[in-house]
Amino acid sequence: MKKSNVLVCVSGGIAVYKAVALVSKLSQAGMNVKVIMTASAQQFVTPLSFQVMSKNDVFYDTFDEKNSAVIAHIDLADWADLIIVAPATANIIAKMAYGMADDMLTTTLLATTAPVWVAPAMNVHMYEHPAVLRNIAQLAEDGIQFIEPSEGFLACGYVGKGRLEEPEKITALVVNHFMKSAESEANA
């Protein structure tokens, strides 16, 4: 199987620490991983943590062009074989549903033709809010695939659905996705 390119887009919630583990697990599984972080994600974990786990530069500023030969958000959008938004906060889900492009993460998402998977993580009441459910439904209609949050103890002290799915499970889904893609290409 060829080395697949996975772009992990990290928005700002306490589950960002699990995204570091996700990047590590994806890299260990043989994926080439790059990371985009929102400003709020950087309040929880530094870009250096993701750089160490991915062995790649981390992107967080639309106007910080690391390679002057390309436009970073377009280059990342084209580079990715799969994009995973994890954790996906209520805010980033709303931005995606309305097609907003006001930071590195959202501009890249609008520019990609790669499959996009969203792994929500938020308070149980936020996850069940009609506006969030409406935005999720819109994104599903747009072809976005969701990795459902798990149930359990949440950082806010509540118990319910809203925990970011475990990095090992997300990694298994990604590996399975690329194995099926490779089988389809071999049978074509």
DSSP 4-25: PEEEEEE-SSTTHHHHHHHHHH
Query: Torsions phi, psi of 18, nearest 5?
Result: -70, -30
Provide the strand spans (E) within the chain.
5-10, 32-37, 58-59, 82-88, 116-120, 145-146, 150-153, 159-163
The catalytic residues are 156
Measured CA to CA, the distance from residue 136 to residue 186 in angstroms comes to: 34
Query: Torsions phi, psi of 100, nearest 5?
Result: -75, 150
